Structure 1
């Protein structure tokens, strides 16, 4: 990203309200919230609670009935809503791309509307395609129908970021793709945020997604009343009430695997060979490494196959015909839950870690992941014991105070 890239702006919602004509009660009722510049805040709540309505009032796709919206300290409640939307990126489920426009034309839409020169627009489109992991040369001239769901969603995010807005609103953007693609898109958003530091407000009904992505989570009741607004860890360990506990659900300790990233644990360097390496290199590395398998990389250094000595014998000495295809990989931004699922799906006790272009970066194994699970469970056990001890102390203090009170009354 260029040095001039715009970082996030604060958002303040003050008594934000939406009433629809003929409805006895408001759809959104007096929401007050401060969102810090550069953080990801997730709105999560039951269907119909008003979370999408609240999101759409921030860029005034839905006009508030009452209250104020401030972005970067500026009251935007009264300015031209069209100008406001050009300053606020917006990404929705199924990408919402214009089917008759190419990928480049879709991304260029807002910069063109605000009068950017052609050369600057062309450079920005290429920069953004590269940023969301799509080769500009390959995808520039394609139409949305020629893209997979995950690719369309990446283009949707690129389009939302095109004019370099400080704020990005995302309304269930990954809800329509398959679970594996969704995990990768979530990882991509986390990686992008490390680079861009935008202020992101993100709506989801999936609490696991909220834990994974959010710096803070707003758990919303009906009419967008805030049940709890806190960090994922605080909500998991200390839900405010039974309503919030219902969202957390069972297995809070395991859900905390969504708070720890692959980059936070030990990533091992595994022996690798490439398709172009001579066969002897495979045997040399196998002998010197002391492992019983090697990772075969393709010409772009992406994980391709897991190779064992026996595989090579059965394939009559050919690397191309030997081994087991790599079905799943994770990035350093993936959560330990993602990594654990990949390891369990693969049945081989390890998963390859890759960089932003899919290139090999290392391996995480089952032992490392299970150690992390045990540490989380132990931390939860100690915290529960400490909480119980505090309750017992509080009860003892209360009993003592009551006894003192009774004694005083008797003396009197």
Structure 2
């Protein structure tokens, strides 16, 4: 088991931003104006806001890639504003869009970069590289010697996260790290980050312009106006159900109840069993399973136990008994850390109304179907309705008490 998963990794650190500002010469208005924020150790905080609001500038001031014009930054109570910025950055993981890997270095060399700079022994660096690759779901034997150009976009991003975590920093800064990959890969990378954070408990500050991503990943979300003024800093649930003002409501957008699907994970609902066969099973065995089972369909797994094809009873007959031509390829899967929004999207695309759930290596775990997801949606909508009723009741009581107090005040006058 990886060292981080055993609980021996460095835990997160508190971050305090105090009156942090950034001014650029020639511009009368600050890019970031007097931002104060407290981030708890081990939580994931998302900075979200419109383009140009200063969210990336705020993030980069934490590791002083951009020097603050004024204000203080404290990490675990230590003022880092006057610390050597190079030493500071070695203690803070940093992951960006398009991974930022050095193209002339192998995967292993990229991951080993910061541990080597901080003076780790060679043997420890080598072990750490393998550990990090395993942690982000890449086989060390397969990826150790590859160059970034030989990787897919999603694999590059995984290596970028592995490099950011390699020196075991308590803080991880992420600047739109999944913005340049396709939607399906992005969903899986988000799931992977949730799984990693569940094991590692780092303090993560994550910049995005995508509010759905913010809901999915964040323990708390800071919705930022121009110059990084904080419009609301709260939990995803609180922002969805009680936005602070019209600006936040506009950023949340329509369908707040459905956006709550991003707050529930697949692991929190029933993952059902489904009959499976292997590509190595004899054809007659597969025929018998299809004829004798309660289902008129099977899920065929590849040699690594990953979902490969959906097989129906008529498929083998129409394909004249050939497995190569039979069935329908599995185009989408979800992990246990995927949201119900991800699962619902996958189910709606699939004509049979279900999606396979997989583990970190892509291995088959079970299925989630439309009925399960619709029941969850109905439960959420009912919970929202009850909350709204309680909120109206509280407001009516408050108005009633104010009216009584005003009447008593008038009588007393």
Could you say which TM-score interval applies, normalised by the shorter chain? over 0.9
Contact 2:165 2:172 in 1 (8 A): yes
**Equivalence for 1:290:** 294
Residues 1:299 and 1:387: Cα distance change in structure 2 (over 3 Å) = same
Q: Partner of 1:101: helix, strand, or coil?
A: coil
- Cα deviations by residue, 1:235-264 (Å, 9 ceiling, x for unpaired): 101111111111111110000000000000
User: What pairs up with 1:19-30 in 2 under 5 angstroms?
Assistant: 19-30=23-34
Contact 2:291 2:313 in 1 (8 A): no
Q: Does 1:359 align with 2:363?
A: yes
Q: 2:243 pairs with 239, 243, 251, which one?
A: 239
Contact 2:48 2:208 in 1 (8 A): yes
Shift of 1:217: 0.5
Q: Does 1:35 align with 2:39?
A: yes
Contact 1:44 1:219 in 2 (8 A): yes
> What TM-score results when the alignment is normalised by the length of structure 2?
0.96
Distance in 1, Cα, partners of 2:357 & 2:184? 15
Shift of 1:288: 5.4
Worse overlay, 270-279 or 205-214: 270-279
Q: 1:325 pairs with 322, 325, 329, which one?
A: 329
User: What pairs up with 1:8-19 in 2 under 5 angstroms?
Assistant: 8-19=12-23
Shift of 1:292: 1.5
- Cα deviations by residue, 1:323-371 (Å, 9 ceiling, x for unpaired): 1100000000000000000011112100000000000000000000011
Contact 1:275 1:320 in 2 (8 A): no
**Equivalence for 1:315:** 319
Worse overlay, 144-153 or 394-403: 394-403
Q: Does 1:115 align with 2:122?
A: no
Distance in 2, Cα, partners of 1:128 & 1:272? 32
**Equivalence for 1:228:** 232
Distance in 2, Cα, partners of 1:264 & 1:100? 43
Q: Partner of 1:32: helix, strand, or coil?
A: strand
**Equivalence for 2:344:** 340
Distance in 2, Cα, partners of 1:353 & 1:289? 21
User: Pairwise CA RMSD of aligned residues?
Assistant: 1.4
**Equivalence for 1:176:** 180
Q: Does 1:258 align with 2:262?
A: yes
**Equivalence for 1:137:** 141
- Cα deviations by residue, 1:30-64 (Å, 9 ceiling, x for unpaired): 21111111110000011111111110010010111
Distance in 2, Cα, partners of 1:288 & 1:215? 48
Q: Does 1:374 align with 2:366?
A: no
Q: Partner of 1:258: helix, strand, or coil?
A: helix
Q: Does 1:106 align with 2:96?
A: no
Unaligned runs of 5+ in 1: none
Q: Does 1:199 align with 2:203?
A: yes
How many equivalent residue pairs? Answer: 409
Distance in 2, Cα, partners of 1:289 & 1:398? 67
Distance in 1, Cα, partners of 2:198 & 2:412? 62
Distance in 1, Cα, partners of 2:193 & 2:166? 15
Contact 1:271 1:286 in 2 (8 A): no
Q: Partner of 2:125: helix, strand, or coil?
A: helix
**Equivalence for 2:162:** 158
Unaligned runs of 5+ in 2: none
Shift of 1:388: 2.1
Contact 2:266 2:339 in 1 (8 A): yes
Query: Which runs of 4 or more aligned residues in structure 1 lie more than 6 Å from their structure 2 counterparts after TM superposition?
Result: none
**Equivalence for 1:279:** 283
Residues 1:109 and 1:316: Cα distance change in structure 2 (over 3 Å) = same
Distance in 1, Cα, partners of 2:396 & 2:83? 56
Distance in 2, Cα, partners of 1:132 & 1:381? 40
Shift of 1:405: 4.1
**Equivalence for 1:398:** 402
Q: 2:82 pairs with 45, 58, 78, which one?
A: 78
